[in-house]
Structure 1
Amino acid sequence: MVNCVVKNWLGEDVGEATLELKVASEDNKSHIVHKALRKQLLAARQGNASSKTRSEVSGGGRKPWRQKGTGRARAGSIRSPLWRGGGVIFGPKPRDYDIKMNRKERRLALRTALQSRAENLIVVEEFGDKLPRPKTKELVQAITRWGANPERKVLLIVAETNENLLLSARNIAGLQLITPNNLSIYSVLDAAYIIATAAALAKIQEVYSD
């Protein structure tokens, strides 16, 4: 169980929140988190690199010169991999890099990663009404008051987004704004600070509790 202090818009302590999730065992947690992270990064690869083999390169149907008597090396096709403009030996072909990992494992890895970042977790009150208009400067100041550095990577988790919040957050270079349903293990591990609203934390508890 993780106990967190809840801060308001001004950065003042106004309450407490808890996060209790089932996590992997001490012996297994590094393995399962690494596997889930690797799966996400591999799944992001397009895998569309392709090169032509000698059978796919156009031309080369005729033998360049006769087999004997020229003094040159034997050659059967101008599309040999040994020739300039020829095919590629063992070159890349389109492939799927994704690795298999069942849903329960992925969720366990995400819970484990999230709980491991407890020291960098900041819980705040809902602040949607504090931004009546899009204002990046005000959001940056609030992030600073909450104890995070807006110049570093910040993961901001809110229960629901609105247009003013989206417009205020999009110009902050290191800020990633997501909802609990879009949590990813890479986002959790990559962020220097994780800021979650109390409602978002409750949603995480509800969605990922099993």
Structure 2
Amino acid sequence: MKLSVLNIKGEDTGREVSLDKSVFGIEPSEHAVYLEVKQYLANQRQGTHKTKTRNEIVGSTKKLKKQKGTGTARAGSIKSPVFRGGGTVFGPTPRDYSFKLNKKLKQLAKKSALSAKAKEKKIKVLEDFSLDAPKTKEFVSILKNLQSDSVKSLIILGNGNDNVFLSSRNIKNIKVSPLDGISTYDLVNAQQLILMESSIDVIKNTLN
């Protein structure tokens, strides 16, 4: 699959790049994508939920009434779960929701997400550029030239450029990051991918 390379003015440079079929042309595995996204979301959970059990409630331990002869059920403590203010039975406790996935499965998930975007023709290739200083206004003008200012976009960097990254931090629905800082969730969640020209070889070498 070949795509035209655009410049920061949104114009065709006359050059084309080929997207590797082993990364951008496979049959997407929906299950691999599901597991990767599930892992990412699970890892975001703090797992600090907690309710107090019977032994953690502060209250009197005095027996409420005599054992027999009242005509009602026996009751030994005000902290019993059957009373208002008592402990919770089988309530949530702190836990770790994270789980592990094999490296090859995570690579397959990324390849599947990239292939799906390529199939939907939602990938643009932008020639490498740099900014002398972090300038959000200048970065926004580049997005407008690419007609991507109103689209949830993910920009994958090749060569490190801190100023490009810093210029994008305050822009809504835009994420800029090198490949190692991007998850399958980011790829699936984006409506459009913008690949810096130098990132294509990085993606190919990393995922193969």
Q: Shared fold (TM-score greater than 0.5)? A: yes
Contact preservation (8 Å) 1:21, 1:111 = no
Separation in 1, partners of 2:61, 2:100: 43
Query: Relative to structure 2, which stretch is displaced further, 133-142 or 15-24?
Result: 15-24
Partner of 1:89, secondary structure, is coil
TM-score w.r.t. length of structure 1: 0.87
Aligned residues: 204
Partner of 1:4, secondary structure, is strand
Instruction: Tell me whether 1:57 sits opposite 2:54 in the alignment.
Output: no
Query: Relative to structure 2, which stretch is displaced further, 187-196 or 162-171?
Result: 162-171
Contact preservation (8 Å) 2:5, 2:17 = yes
Query: Percent of pairs identical after alignment?
Result: 38
Residue 201 of structure 2 is matched in structure 1 by: 202
Change (3 A) 1:142 1:96: same
Instruction: Tell me whether 1:127 sits opposite 2:129 in the alignment.
Output: yes
Q: Which runs of 5+ in 1 are unaligned?
A: none
Separation in 1, partners of 2:108, 2:163: 34
Separation in 2, partners of 1:108, 1:179: 18
Residue 152 of structure 1 is matched in structure 2 by: 151
What is the CA deviation profile of residues 68-123 of structure 1, one whole-angstrom value per residue up to 9, with x for unaligned ones?
Answer: 34565421111111112211122111122223421111111111111211111111
Contact preservation (8 Å) 1:22, 1:112 = no
TM-score w.r.t. length of structure 2: 0.88
Question: What one-letter code is carried by the residue in structure 2 that aligns with 1:81?
Answer: P
Residue 169 of structure 2 is matched in structure 1 by: 170
Change (3 A) 1:35 1:163: closer
Question: What one-letter code is carried by the residue in structure 2 that aligns with 1:41?
Answer: L
Deviation at 1:25, TM superposition (A): 6.7
Separation in 2, partners of 1:177, 1:166: 6
Separation in 1, partners of 2:160, 2:83: 58
